[in-house]
A and B are shown apart, each in its own frame.
Chain A
Amino acid sequence: MVKHAFAAVALATLAQVPLSARAQENPPLPRQEWSFSGIFGTYDRAAQQRGFQVYKEICSACHPVKHLYFRDLTDIGYSEDEVKAIASTYQVTNEQPNDQGQMFQRPGRPSDPIPGPFPNDQAARAANNGALPPDLSMIVKARDGGPDYVFGILTGYKEPPPRFNLLPGMQYNEYFSGHQIAMPPPLSDNAVTFADGVPATVPQMAHDVVTFLTWAAEPNLEVRHRTGFKVMLFLIVTVGIFYAAKRKIWAAVH
Chain B
Amino acid sequence: MADTRPGATNGIIRWIDDRLPFMASVRHHYYEYPTPRNLSYWWNYGSLAGIMLVVMIVTGVFLAMQYTPSADLAFDSVERIMRDVNFGWLMRYAHMNGASMFFAIVYIHLFRGLYYGSYKRPRELLWMLGLVVLILMIMTSFMGYVLPWGQMSYWAATVITNLFSAIPLIGPGIVTFLWGGFTVGDPTLHRFYALHYLLPFVILGVVLLHLIALHRHGSNNPLGIDSKGPQDTLPFHPYFTIKDLFGLAVFFLIYSFFVFYAPNALGEPDNYMPANPMQTPNHIVPEWYLLPYYAILRSITFPILFISAKLAGVILAFSSILVLFFVPWLDTSPVRSARFRPIYKWLFWLLVVDVIALGWVGANPPQGIVVTVGQIATLYYFVHMLVLFPLIGKLERPRPLPANIGTAVVQTDGGVRLGRAGAPMAKP
Contact = CB atoms under 8 A, between A and B. Distances in A.
A/B contact in complex, CB under 8 angstroms: yes
Interface of A: 3, 6-7, 10-11, 14, 17, 19-22, 39, 67, 72, 134, 137-138, 141-144, 146, 177, 217, 219-220, 224-225, 227-229, 231-232, 235-236, 238-239, 242-243, 245-246, 249-250, 252-254
B83 A220 contact: yes
Contacts of B357: 14
Given A14-B357, A238-B249, A220 B243 contact: no
Contacts of B28: none
A239 B82 contact: no
Contacts of A14: 353, 356-357, 360
A144 B363 contact: no
B285 interface: yes
B20 interface: no
Given A14-B356, A254-B419, A232 B249 contact: no
Contacts of B416: 253-254
Given A3-B349, A220-B82, 10 more contacts: A10-B356, A14-B353, A20-B285, A67-B76, A141-B272, A146-B269, A220-B83, A228-B259, A235-B253, A253-B239
Interface residues of B, number: 53
B256 interface: yes
B259 A246 contact: no
A19 B356 contact: no
Contacts of B205: none
- Kindly list the 7 A-B residue pairs having the minimum CB-CB distance in the complex, ordered from nearest: A228-B260, A252-B426, A142-B272, A242-B246, A141-B272, A220-B89, A239-B249
A134 B279 CA distance: 13
A243 B250 CA distance: 10
Contacts of B345: 3
A138 B272 contact: yes
Contact of B363 (A20, A143, A243): A20
Nearest to A3: B349
Contacts of A229: 260
14 contacts: A19-B360, A20-B285, A20-B364, A21-B364, A21-B365, A21-B367, A22-B283, A39-B261, A141-B264, A227-B90, A232-B257, A235-B252, A242-B246, A245-B242
B2 interface: no
A198 B388 CA distance: 69
Contact of A225 (B261, B264, B418): B261
A228 B252 CA distance: 12
Contacts, number: 118
B253 A236 contact: yes
Contacts of B195: none
B417 interface: yes
A238 B242 CA distance: 12
A17 B369 CA distance: 12
B356 A224 contact: no
Given A22-B282, A243-B246, A17 B360 contact: yes
Given A14-B360, A220-B82, A235 B256 contact: yes
A246 B256 contact: no
Contacts of B287: none
A236 B367 CA distance: 45
Given A67-B83, A239-B246, A11 B353 contact: yes
Nearest to A228: B260
Report whether over half of chain A's contact residues are helix, strand or loop; otherwise say mixed.
helix
B283 A239 contact: no
Contact of B269 (A141, A177, A239, A243): A141
Contact of A142 (B90, B259, B270, B360): B270
Interface string B205-238: 0000000000000000000000000000010001
Contacts of B83: 67, 72, 219-220
A231 B363 contact: no
A220 B83 CA distance: 7
Contacts of A242: 242, 245-246, 249
B352 interface: yes
B250 to A, nearest CB: 6
Nearest to B345: A3
A250 B356 contact: no
Given A177-B282, A242-B245, A142 B234 contact: no
Contacts of A146: 269
Nearest to A219: B83
Nearest to A141: B272
Interface in B268-301: 269-270, 272-273, 282-283, 285
B253 A19 contact: no
A254 B256 contact: no
B151 to A, nearest CB: 8
A228 B95 CA distance: 16
A250 B245 CA distance: 14
Given A232-B256, A253-B37, A239 B349 contact: no
B304 interface: no
Contacts of A6: 349
Contacts of A10: 353, 356
B246 A246 contact: yes
Contacts of A177: 282
A177 B282 CA distance: 10
B89 A246 contact: no
A254 B269 contact: no
Given A3-B345, A138-B272, A239-B253, A232 B260 contact: yes
Given A141-B272, A142-B273, A242-B246, A253 B234 contact: yes
